[in-house]
Structure 1
Amino acid sequence: MDAQEEADKKLHDFFWTYTEEPHRTRRLAIIKAHPEVTKLCGPEPLTKYVVAFVVALQILCGCLLRDTSFWSWKFWALGYVVGATANQNLFLAIHEISHNLAFRSAMANRLFAIFANLPIGVPYSASFRPYHLTHHKSLGVDGLDTDLPTALEAVVFDSILGKAFFCTFQIFFYAIRPMCVFKVPFTWIHLVNVLVQLAFDYALVTLTGSYQPLLYLVLSSFLAGSLHPTAGHFIAEHYVYETVTPEAINPDNKVPIPETYSYYGPLNFVTYNVGYHNEHHDFPAVPWTRLPKLRKLADEFYAPLPRHESWVLVLWRFILDANVGVTSRVKRKDGGRKVGGQVAKIANWTPQEIEA
């Protein structure tokens, strides 16, 4: 294999690293430098009110469209502008709730996530939690982190058209991929999630006398994970957008490739500050309202890190830039652990729990 072929191979392969994921190391350093950071941890009471408002808003919008054609511009315009933004908000509410940050009781969080799931149209909150917590515990670990594209995706979508398809239908990749990587046990909470969602969908159709409200909710979920400004966070969080030199790819190099990126722009207002993603991975026990405080408190740790200025630009660059694509992810062979679906009672957050 000549030098050009070797360079092409590296360009179209994942970034394999042998370093530890960076968040645990930085978390310990921040706790040592700013012990008061632990006071930021714990549930945020405001979350339940925001979720209730968005759930009600989506049901109202669906009911208002009960006599509107699915193929009308009004149906799709409301679905894109309001519906997709609202359901992305609910996706990220469920993300927040999965870290037990709406209530102190883990059981209350699990049940409330099912309520937040209602306008999404399909049951997924119960399955999301173990997959997402495994993503935290096993960041970049091949075969455990289901946020990572598979080798098959890397081959099929390694082109401009492929990446455009990937971005347009990324909601399906995030829904189907986890089950292809590993399966979580089906527990009673999964059954409750399915039964409640089916009952809600049936009641919505029956009480309105129309399928349009349910179609609006499902369309909103699809658009929320498609070419929508807020959907840029799916790509922005962990795809490598920095120029990575051959030296950085060398396994002997101990300088970690940046694998988490933050975004501090206005779209955080409707997405539970998920743009503060380095901060979130460093301290998953800090709720969305306090992530800006964390960023300010530990500024010397976060200011030097790479960041995105626009989620729209993230999607644009992902599709058109030959140096960014499905394989622009850091992977590691070993480490991490799988998180099951058991409910644990959480009384108070301690530094030990934060570190874990």
Structure 2
Amino acid sequence: MESIKHRVSNQTYTFVTPAADAPIEVLNEFYWTKEAEPHVLRRKQILAKYPEVAKLTGYETKTKWYVLGVVLLQFLVAYYLRDTSPLAWKFMALAYIIGATSNQALFLAIHELSHNLLFKKPLHNKIFAIFANLPIGVPYSASFQPYHQLHHKFMGDHYLDTDLPTKFEAMFLSNLLGKVLFATFQIFFYALRPMFITQIQFTYIHLLNIVVQIATDYVMVQSWGWNALAYFIMSSFLAGSLHPCAGHFIAEHYVLNENNKPRQERKDGITISKELLPAETYSYYGSLNLLTWNVGYHNEHHDFPYIAWTKLPQLREIASEFYDPLPQVTSWCGVIWCFMFNDVNTLWNRVRRTGKERHGSRIRNLDQNQS
């Protein structure tokens, strides 16, 4: 085993790199910590220095018109392809280029709506999210909001953050084939994983989401045939697969490449100290933000979840000294490629928190609210 010394703030930390033939439980482990996630502290620091940032919060009125245009575009393409086989090159090309790009934009419009950033009243955001859901083909919007709010409130939490891969996923999908499968079928992992980790309360919004979606699908199939619905489904699958815009799923929170840091020897359930905890949120400032409501400004978004997408670049400009030093992703396509084919990048590369001790009462309250 190789010993590595790392110096931080005039202190020297010693690490032990496990041998290649070390037991699997030594080689494979998440970045465990009990330290708080960084966004709350940075938000307080930014507001203390730049109180005018608080004025950036609030909903963006023009977003709804863009969403309306994307939904209309998807229905027009579905109508155009109603007599085209899903196996035809034209069908697959349009589903990848237009359909996947549009449905990824709708996924992320629902993300904006989950933060109530399109309308003043939360109910109006929920209803409009059901409308934005229509070209996705399956009911999704009502469940996304509560799970995504847990991701923000308890980022990295072992029990409540369903954005994290499970240990089962990490064990079986951290090889080359597994990572290719994970990147190709990301949409299924993100859709199905939450149901196995944390259960949420079923509400009338969920029921409305299901009824409206099934009714819309039924009318479309009766009027235009199954190929039109197949276009929606294929668009959603490709939007969460090997598509440039899908790179944000991995880029946002996986600790990749140069952002990896040596792991401390596991002790008392903690592998990473406060000084050596790797950055766990990464921003991307490239051109694909134009198609994805600036979701690449992800550090900014987690710091201020109630600032709409149009004002995130302004936040970064105001508080540039807080964001410029942070690790950045330069290419979503590059992230997908490096994640799959670079051995150091695996599903283990996520920061996890031992949330049971910190949030036990909140978990009990969550269970009581759902009962």
TM-based fold match above 0.5: yes
8 Å CA contact 1:90–1:117 kept in 2: the answer is yes
2:156 is aligned to: 140
Letter in 2 for 1:180: F
Q: Offset at 1:329?
A: 0.2
Q: Which of 176, 182, 188 is the matching residue for 2:192?
A: 176
Q: Which residue of 2 aligns with 1:253?
A: 273
Report if aligned partners of 2:31, 2:271 keep a CA contact under 8 Å in 1.
Answer: no
TM-score (norm 2): 0.88
Deviations along 1:207-258, one digit per CA (max 9) or x if unpaired, are 22x1111000000000000000000000000000113123597747222311
The separation in 2 between residues aligned to 1:198 and 1:276, in whole angstroms, is 34
- Secondary structure in structure 1 of the residue aligned to 2:347: coil
Tell whether 2:161 aligns with 1:150: no
Is contact 2:283-2:298 (8 Å) kept? Answer: yes
> Is 2:247 aligned against 1:227?
no
Report SS of the residue matched to 1:123.
Answer: coil
Cα pair distance change 1:10/1:289, threshold 3 Å: farther
> Which letter does structure 2 place at the counterpart of 1:29?
Q
Per-residue Cα deviation, 1:250-303 (whole angstroms, up to 9, x for no partner): 747222311000000000000000000000000000000000000101000000
Q: Which amino acid aligns with 1:140?
A: G
Q: Which whole-Å CA distance do the structure 1 matches of 2:154 and 2:344 have between them?
A: 26
Q: Would the alpha carbon gap of residues 280 and 201 (structure 1) be closer, same or farther in structure 2, given more than 3 Å must change?
A: same
1:89 matches 2:105: yes
Unmatched runs of 5 consecutive residues or more in structure 1: 341-356
1:165 aligns with 2:185: no
Aligned residue for 1:309? 330
By percentage of residues, which structure has more strand? 2
Alpha-carbon shift at residue 12 of structure 1 (Å):
2.4
CA contact (8 A) 2:183 2:336 kept: yes
Of 347, 361, 368, 1:326 maps to 347
- Pairing partner for 1:108 from 110, 116, 124: 124
Shift of 1:94: 0.1
Equivalent in the alignment of 2:228: 213
One-letter amino acid matched to 2:161: D
Instruction: Please state how far the C-alpha of 1:203 moved relative to its aligned partner.
Output: 1.1
**What is the rounded CA distance, in whole Å, between the counterparts of 1:247 and 1:202 in structure 2?**
55
Which whole-Å CA distance do the structure 2 matches of 1:76 and 1:331 have between them? 38
Write the distance in 1 (CA, Å) between the matches of 2:295 and 2:198. Answer: 25
* Shift, 1:321, TM fit: 0.8
For each residue in 1:331-350, what CA deviation from the matched residue of structure 2 results, as whole angstroms up to 9, or x when unmatched?
A: 0002465697xxxxxxxxxx
1:81-132 Cα shifts (integer Å, max 9, x gaps)? 0000000000000000000000010010000000000000000100000000
8 Å contact from structure 2 (residues 71, 135) kept in 1: yes
Q: Is 2:96 aligned against 1:80?
A: yes
Q: How is 1:50-89 mapped onto 2 (pairs within 5 angstroms)?
A: 50-89=66-105
237, 241, 245: which one aligns with 2:252: 237
Measured in 2, the distance between the counterparts of 1:302 and 1:114 equals: 34
Q: Deviations over 1:22-65 (max 9, x none)?
A: 00000000000100000000000111001100000000000000
Mapped partners of 1:248, 1:236: distance in 2: 27
In 2, Cα distance between the equivalents of 1:138 and 1:204? 39
Q: Percent identity?
A: 54
Change (3 A) 1:79 1:248: farther
SS at match of 1:183: coil
Equivalent residues of 1:18, 1:251 under 8 A apart: no
State the Cα distance separating 1:3 from its structure 2 match: 4.4
* Distance in 2 between residues matched to 1:90 and 1:107, nearest whole Å: 18
Letter in 2 for 1:27: R
Query: In structure 1, how many angstroms separate the alpha carbons of the residues matched to 2:263 and 2:215?
Result: 54
Residue 264 of structure 1 is matched in structure 2 by 285
Aligned residue for 1:299? 320
**TM-score (normalizing by structure 1):** 0.92
Which residue of 2 is the match for residue 129 of structure 1? 145
CA contact (8 A) 1:11 1:323 kept: no
**Structure 2 unaligned blocks of 5 or more:** 2-16, 367-371
Q: CA–CA distance in 2 between the matches of 1:328 and 1:3?
A: 16
Distance 1:37 1:10 in 2: 44
Q: Higher mean Cα deviation, 255-264 or 35-44?
A: 255-264
Is contact 2:32-2:272 (8 Å) kept?
no
Distance in structure 1 (CA, Å) of the matches to 2:265 and 2:287: 33
Provide the C-alpha distance between the structure 1 equivalents of 2:171 and 2:72, rounded to a whole number of angstroms. Answer: 42
The alpha carbon displacement at 1:18 in A equals 1.9
Once residues 329 and 3 of structure 1 are traced to their aligned partners in structure 2, the CA distance between those partners, rounded to angstroms, is 19
Report how far residue 11 of structure 1 moved: 4.5
- Amino acid corresponding to residue 263 of structure 2 in structure 1: P
